[in-house]
């Protein structure tokens, strides 16, 4: 657990430092500097390029996570293992690009009236997809060599520093909006180039394959894992991006912009879980290889309770200060109040179930996670179709929360049946009760005229409640 704790702390620190930069840009500057349509453009470009990158990936991420331990040998450049995910991803990108141009006219026709700005910048999807795709490949590889921090540093810190600089240039009118978008796209692409330089300098770059090491059994396993990883990775990105895509289709670019900005506040909650997941995947893959169920069960149990406590503190801190947060945004963003609530709730549910998905995907039962992901895709799409027309952008967030709850329940039941793993205990119940208690106490505190003082008092209240009621018990039973 030592390496997980160490790198999780480093990843969390960098992620929250990046979140602070993101809060300054996305949470404060963007809503006041850009129109809702321009914010919608940025959200849609990033969402679609991420989705296309996952399609192009063709399951390479799963192959890296699950099979790299068998190739690990730095002196021999890991037998050129990196060649396989690179060439497969490149082939996937070419296929995806051909499909993009095949359906270009349909995309333009569907968006020319309600999202014309998106049509104007449609072709930026190609470089965004390419660089996002290979960032995913190289980031998965760095995590497999137990260097998960570099990806977080480049994506959550360096990239956001560059974005902040680009925002500054636009704010002071050194560049126009067209140049702003071009430089914003360049900032998104930058981490991919830097992570390649890092791998070369660390002498981990090995792109010439050693075919003698690749047995028929291993090649068959690569293909098998790729097929199911396509399903799991694509499904994961569906849950992350389909809401923005469907909101744009139903309601237009302005609603997408409001959703994208308010979504960010709820997404802050999940940062610690991603930090733990980044490094735990490599450790769990090695543990499955050595059949060390005790280590796996320990990681599962600790990830659930630690993430639940941290997530509950952040979620309650955000929600009790929701009115203060909305005061920082233009009035039209008030429509996203319950987007923040339901996005935050869905992320809290995901955190409370720990690294269940990583455990399944790195085990011999990885195929089942593909089926669970397929269920998630169907649930998200149909719930969005139902709830967006009824409740607008809040309906999209509500749909995600309901789908994620059902999805994680299936994972929990599966792990319990197959391995008798049950990560929850009395502290889980106490944490949930304390979360509800903090909401109730918040309603008794009168609102102050100064939002900063009001936010400070409510935040101190949250920290005090959790420190006393959860912290003391956690020390006794951990």
Three-class DSSP labels, 229-288:
HHHHHHHHHHHHHHHHHHHHHHHCHHHHHHHHHHHHHHHHHHHHHHHHHHHHHHHHHHHH
Give the pLDDT confidence of 447-472 residue by residue, as tens digits. Answer: 888 888 888 888 888 888 888 877 66
Q: What's the rounded Cα separation, in Å, for the pair 272 and 306?
A: 9
Q: What's the rounded Cα separation, in Å, for the pair 463 and 470?
A: 10
- Write down the pLDDT at residue 462: 86
- Write down the pLDDT at residue 411: 92
Q: What's the rounded Cα separation, in Å, for the pair 34 and 295?
A: 49
> Structure tokens of 400?
């995600």
- Write down the pLDDT at residue 342: 92
Q: Which of 431, 387, 383, 427 is nearest to 405 (CA)?
A: 383
pTM over cut 0.75: no
Looking at residues 76-97, what average pLDDT do you find? 83
What 3-state DSSP class applies to 339? helix
> Structure tokens of 265?
């506040």
Q: Which of 262, 383, 276, 419 is nearest to 328 (CA)?
A: 262
Looking at residues 272-281, what average pLDDT do you find? 66
Mean pLDDT of the chain: 81
> Structure tokens of 50?
């991420």
In 10 A of CB 223, how many CB atoms? 11
Cα 467 to Cα 41, 270, 312, 436, 459, distances in angstroms:
41, 20, 12, 15, 12
Given a contact cutoff of 8 angstroms between Cβ atoms, the answer to whether 226 and 166 are in contact is no
pLDDT at 344 over 70: yes
- Write down the pLDDT at residue 250: 85
Question: Rg of the chain over CA atoms, in angstroms?
Answer: 22
Looking at residues 146-171, what average pLDDT do you find? 82
Which of 53-57, 138-142, 147-151, 363-367 has the weakest average pLDDT?
147-151
- Write down the pLDDT at residue 465: 85
Cα 292 to Cα 1, 369, 444, distances in angstroms:
13, 20, 49
- Write down the pLDDT at residue 338: 92
Looking at residues 409-433, what average pLDDT do you find? 89
Given a contact cutoff of 8 angstroms between Cβ atoms, the answer to whether 394 and 266 are in contact is no
- What is the percent of the chain with per-residue pLDDT over 90, rounded to a whole number? 11
Q: Which of 310, 333, 359 is nearest to 15 (CA)?
A: 310
How would residue 169 be classed by pLDDT, with cut points 50, 70 and 90?
A: very high
Q: What's the rounded Cα separation, in Å, for the pair 99 and 217?
A: 32
CA atoms within 13 A on the CB side of 183: 18
CA atoms within 13 A on the CB side of 186: 11
Q: Which residue has the tokens 């180039």?
A: 193
- Write down the pLDDT at residue 341: 93
- Write down the pLDDT at residue 1: 46
pLDDT at 478 over 60: no
Q: Which of 247, 271, 242 is nearest to 259 (CA)?
A: 247
């Amino acid at each position: 657990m030592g390496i997980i704790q160490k790198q999780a702390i480093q990843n969390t620190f960098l992620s929250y430092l990046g979140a602070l930069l993101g809060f300054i840009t996305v949470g404060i500057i963007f809503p006041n500097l850009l129109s809702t349509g321009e914010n919608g453009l940025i959200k849609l470009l990033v969402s679609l390029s991420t989705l296309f990158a996952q399609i192009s990936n063709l399951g390479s991420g799963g192959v890296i996570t699950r099979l790299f331990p068998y190739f690990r040998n730095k002196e021999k450049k890991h037998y050129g293992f990196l060649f396989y995910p690179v060439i497969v991803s490149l082939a996937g990108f070419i296929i995806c690009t051909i499909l993009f141009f095949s359906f270009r006219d349909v995309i333009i026709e569907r968006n020319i009236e309600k999202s014309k700005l998106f049509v104007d910048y449609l072709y930026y999807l190609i470089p965004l997809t390419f660089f996002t795709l290979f960032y995913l490949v190289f980031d998965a590889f760095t995590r497999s060599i137990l260097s998960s921090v570099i990806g977080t540093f480049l994506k959550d810190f360096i990239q956001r520093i560059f974005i902040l600089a680009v925002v500054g240039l636009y704010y002071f009118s050194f560049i126009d909006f067209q140049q702003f978008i071009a430089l914003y796209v360049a900032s998104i692409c930058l981490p991919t180039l830097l992570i390649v330089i890092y791998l070369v300098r660390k002498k981990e770059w090995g792109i010439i394959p050693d075919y003698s090491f690749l047995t028929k059994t291993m090649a068959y396993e690569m293909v098998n894992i790729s097929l199911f990883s396509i399903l799991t990775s694509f499904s994961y990105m569906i849950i992350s991006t389909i809401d923005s895509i469907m909101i744009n289709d139903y309601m237009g670019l302005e609603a997408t912009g409001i959703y994208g900005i308010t979504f960010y506040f709820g997404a802050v909650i999940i940062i610690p879980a991603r930090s733990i997941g980044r490094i735990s995947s490599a450790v769990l893959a090695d543990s499955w290889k050595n059949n060390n169920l005790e280590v796996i069960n320990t990681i599962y149990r600790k990830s659930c309770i630690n993430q639940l406590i941290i997530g509950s503190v952040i979620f309650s801190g955000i929600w009790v200060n929701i009115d203060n947060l909305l005061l920082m945004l233009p009035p039209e963003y008030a429509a996203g109040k319950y987007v923040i609530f339901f996005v935050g709730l869905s992320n809290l549910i995901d955190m409370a179930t720990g690294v269940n998905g990583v455990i399944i995907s790195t085990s011999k039962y990885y195929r089942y996670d593909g089926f669970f992901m397929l269920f998630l895709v169907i649930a998200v799409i149909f719930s969005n179709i139902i709830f967006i027309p009824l409740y607008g952008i809040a309906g999209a967030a509500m749909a995600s929360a309901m789908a994620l709850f059902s999805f994680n329940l299936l994972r929990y039941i599966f792990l319990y049946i197959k391995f008798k793993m049950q990560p929850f205990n009395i502290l889980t119940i106490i944490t949930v009760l304390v979360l509800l208690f903090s909401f109730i106490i918040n309603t008794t505190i009168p609102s102050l005229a100064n939002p900063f003082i009001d936010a400070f008092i409510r935040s101190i209240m949250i920290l005090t409640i959790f420190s006393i009621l959860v912290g003391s018990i956690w020390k006794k039973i951990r």
